[in-house]
Structures are given as C-alpha cells and as structure tokens.
Chains A and B, each alone.
Chain A
Amino acid sequence: MGVGRVEQTADRPLPTPPPPDALVAARGLRKTYGTLEAVRGIDVTVRRGEAFGFLGPNGAGKSSTMRMIAAVSPASGGSLRVLGMDPAEDGPAIRSRLGVCPQDDTLDSELTVRENLLVYGRFFGLSRAEVARRADELLAFVQLGDRADARVEQLSGGLKRRLTVARSLINEPELLMLDEPTTGLDPQARHLLWDRLFRLKQQGTTLLLTTHYMDEAEQLCDRLVIIDEGIVVAEGSPAQLIGAHSSREVCELRFDVDDHDGAVGRLQRLGERVEALPDRVLVYAADGEAVAQAVHDDLGLSPRSTLVRRSTLEDVFLRLTGRSLAQ
C-alpha cells in the first residue's frame, strides 16, 4: 500500500506506513478554503472492523475531513488512502464501497421512502431486483417497513435520519461514514439509532463517525481522535483518553453567583485540578466523594448543589483545549 501525493515538509517526519488492515490512512491531511484552514495536518488510521470517532466542537474540521475521506472533496495537502486507493484518482471505485450518512439528510423529498432506496441503489450498478430485495431488508432493519410508501417530507427528523442510514447501507459498504448521526434527534430516536449502529458494528461493518456529543463517542467508538481547530489533540480509546488526561472522578459544585469566585480559589488544594466554568466548578480527584465531604467539613463551603461523577470525554476535551465541547 503506497502513499499518494505526499507533500513533504521540513518539520514533518516521514509518514509511518499504515497497517495492512487500514481502511483509512491520512498523514498530514490538510484542507483550505481560500485563506481559511479548516484541516491543518491530521494523521488518522482507521482499521477494519473498528468504530472510529472524530470528536470535536462545531467548526473543528470534522466534516471537511469526512468529505475528503468520502472522495467528494479534494485534499489540499498531505496524503490520504481510502480502502488502499487514492481518492483523487479512484473516487468512483472508493465511493462504490463506502456508505455515507451526511449531516444534512440529502433525501429526495419528491419520492417515497422506498423509492429513495430504489433509485439510490441503482447508482451503484445494482439490478432492480437486487435493489428491491435490499430495500425491503433495510427498511425492516431501520424499522421503517410500515412507512415504505410514505412521502419523505411527511417523516419526522428521526425517521428521516433512519432512512438516510438505510440508504447509506444499500451497497453493503465496508466502511460506513456518519457525520453527526444523532444531532437534532430526541433522546428516544438517538438511542434507537445507536442500537442499529451497534448491530452494524457487530456484523463487522467499520464505522467512522463524527460527533460533538461525548456520550455518543463513549457509546459507539472503540477509538477516537479529539479534533480542535483542524488538528488532532489526542487519540485513543475513550478509557485511555480519560485515564491519560483526567482523574477518575469529578466533583461538580454549583455556588451562588456571589460565592462562586471566592470558592474557586479555596477549592484549589482539594483535588488534582480545578476548572472554573461560568456556572460551576469542577474539582478533579480520584475520590470525588471525599472532595464533596471536604468542601463541607474542611472548607466550610455550602454549594447549592454537589454532583460526583466519573470523568468523561467532555473533561478530557476541557483539559486539552480549555473549552467545553457543548459550546
């Protein structure tokens, strides 16, 4: 497996060859729009069979990276191999083996639910009979069988997203790419979609997804990269990232507005680290309950609310970037 279109720069070491089972191998990948640098040199390897995530806030460069990997947007620099091929050369061949679930549902609102699958499958060169067979299977899989003849414009956001997922599976893709799959969905619709994605993963489909929800990343991803301002700031499994960049537990304290600033200074000595957010203070420690106790007993502070929880990827992101993911 070679490396296409390498743009060697002085400060970048020779790219390490991707492992043989890599479906996606990006080295120093960049994307610029005019003067805007959306992606500023990303190294990513996605292996067959894993669920890989890009976690980062809106505007971090996740969607731009996804569009380059999906072979619809040319890279501005660096090298990229997808399914062992160069997207600049072999776009149609790569895309014939990918499933793409974009952030905006790009469904045809003039057509019915089932027709959307029928016409889309034909783009991949499948016969009408084969497309019809797969369409019925997929509608059952995303639990839309009873809405097969409904017009797309009559569907709710959650149903449209499920149809988009079904459509992205019509060519039985080796790599399923999902850009913000559950953004804008209600909790019930999110959980249903997560369940379907989890089943796909168990069937051996490689998943590559972007999200700005840390719970989604923790639920679905075996490995992920945290992306901020167009670069990778950390990489690993959710547990590794939390272990490396945060304490085991967090004690979240909310104070009255007048007490907030004074409390922050006094809390410093209780944990490994203290983060003061506008509305609450996070104290990072191995034992969160002990911190909560000490806030009361040792410091004599009385927060309006106290919550002890495990560290999450949100805390990792806050630690690495100084900002909150949800913003």
Chain B
Amino acid sequence: MGGSVPAARLRRPATTGLVWRQLDHWRIRWRRTWRGSAITNFVLPILYLLAMGVGLGAYVDEGGGRAALGGVDYLEFIAPGLLATSVMQNAVGASTWPVMGAIKWDKTYFAMIASPLRTRDVLVGNLGFVAARLALTAAVFWLVLALFGVVVLPWAVLAVPAGVLVGMAHATPLFALSARLERETGFMLVYRVGVVPMFLFSGAFFPVSQLPDPVQWLAQSLPLYHGVELVRGLTLGRPDLLADIGHVAYLVLWCGVGFVLADRALARRLGG
C-alpha cells in the first residue's frame, strides 16, 4: 500500500490545488441544503419588493418622493437596495451557523484537516463556496429586477459581481467571529444589534441623509451602506465612478481584514 500521490509533489502543495479537491464536498453539500435557504434568499426579498416597492411606493411617488430619491421611483430606489441586503443576509447565514457546526457539532473541519488539506485551504474552499452561493443569489435576484423593469444595461450587469463583493465583505469578518465563538447565542446578538439595524438603516429603504448626523456616520461606517450605494448606481445605469471606486475599495478592505482574522481564528481553533 502507499499514498496515491507522490510525496515530493505534496511537500509544498499550492493552495489552489487543495481548494479544488473540495469541489465535490461543497457541491454535494449545496445540493443537500439549498432548498432550506431558497425561501429566505429569494421569496422574502421579492415579498419586500412587492409590498414596499409597489405598494408603499405608490404613496411615496404620489407624495413627491421622486425628487428626494434623486429622481427615481421608489421601486427603482429600493430594488437594488434589496439586492444588496439579501446578498448580505445570505452571506451572514452562510458564515455563521454552518461554520460553528463544522467546528463544534459535526466537526467536519477537523476531518478535513486530517487529510492533506490545511486550515487555509479549508478556509479558502469554504469562502469560495460562499461566493458561489452569493453569485447565484445575486444573479437570480437581478433577473427578478429585470422582470420588474428596473435594470438599466449595460452598467447593471456589474451589479451581480458588486453584490458578491458586498456579501463577501460581511462573510469574511463573520467567519472570523464564528470561528472564535464558543456558543451560538452570540449569533442572536449579531442579528439583533448588527444585521437587523444595518439592514434597516443602510440606505436600502430611504436615503441615509434622512438620519441624524451621528446615526448617519455610523451607517456610513458599515460596509452595507457602501454596498447599497454601489449596487444602486450600477443597477440604475448611472454609476458615480469616483464614489464607486471608494465603495469598492472600502468593501475590499473589509474582505481583506476579515480574511486575515478568519485565517488566524480558524488556525487557532483547529490546530491547537
């Protein structure tokens, strides 16, 4: 008997190779679990779109809201916001409980690092899987928006990768948190004081300029505000290039810092 792969080639294996070996793992898991998240990811945002964009929107538009919203219908205003926020919520879901489960309950990460995979390979593989999920969420949501007639080509196409970026800016720091948390009760706190207020005050439903200054600053310090602004400009076909470069840079910063923190947290948790 013997190892099926020459040892010499494995001495310093490239992360990319070891990440691709996880393809079947994530693919089969996804096939098993996607139905559960479909309702939260698609059905709920579409209900929001109908209730608020169409229902509430009629009043907003009649009441002279268009001017305050920068000359667009309320539906056009919140539709890209809902794309960004639903990708964010999907990212939160994918980087909290499943991560804790793979450390604490099923301990599947421990099985994975007993194979040639290293902690970082597992992290990159898992985040790649999250990004693929987010891309699908963003793309399907984008098609729904197209059916509502609120996307303006060609810029709107970039709303999908922008949506993935928004999601990953949340997924990586939350992955780091999940890799540190001992108990799932911490997640309730994340939702109540983090995700839900951020969702409401990110500028998805009304311009943050309506908020008192300190709250406005707080909202603007969080990645979701920048995601909403970026996705909205692209979807409506009128990006503000200079501002968007800033938004992208800020979101990339969150992804990068989140990745470093997640890498450290996971290495400490799995390799002690």
Contact = CB atoms under 8 A, between A and B. Distances in A.
B2 interface: yes
Interface in A61-104: 70, 72-74, 85, 89-93, 95-98, 100, 102, 104
A205 B5 CA distance: 18
B116 interface: yes
Given A90-B11, A95-B116, A120-B115, A110 B2 contact: no
Given A96-B7, A125-B21, A174-B3, A70 B29 contact: no
B4 A126 contact: yes
Interface residues of A, number: 42
A118 B271 CA distance: 25
Nearest to A123: B115
A171 B117 CA distance: 13
B25 A122 contact: yes
A123 B32 CA distance: 19
Contacts of B110: 72, 102, 104, 106
A43 interface: no
A128 B23 CA distance: 11
Nearest to A170: B115
A106 B118 contact: no
Contact of A104 (B4, B13, B29, B107): B107
B114 A102 contact: yes
Contacts of B22: 122-123
B37 interface: no
Size bracket of the B interface: 35 or more
A36 to B, nearest CB: 11
Main secondary structure of the interface of A (DSSP, over half): loop
B24 interface: yes
Contacts of A106: 106-108, 110-111, 114
B112 interface: yes
Contacts, number: 122
A193 to B, nearest CB: 19
A134 B113 CA distance: 21
Interface string A113-127: 001001110111110
Contact of A125 (B108, B116, B272): B116
A204 interface: yes
B54 interface: no
Given A72-B270, A92-B10, A174-B2, A122 B21 contact: yes
A95 B2 CA distance: 12
B16 interface: no
A48 to B, nearest CB: 11
A111 interface: yes
B271 A171 contact: no
B28 interface: yes
A107 interface: yes
**Top 10 A-B pairs, shortest CB-CB distance:** A123-B115, A106-B111, A92-B116, A119-B25, A97-B3, A100-B114, A106-B107, A93-B10, A93-B7, A172-B1
Interface of A: 33, 70, 72-74, 85, 89-93, 95-98, 100, 102, 104, 106-111, 115, 118-120, 122-126, 128, 130, 167, 171-174, 204-205
15 contacts: A72-B271, A73-B271, A91-B118, A96-B5, A106-B111, A108-B111, A115-B28, A119-B24, A119-B28, A120-B115, A122-B25, A123-B115, A125-B4, A130-B4, A172-B3
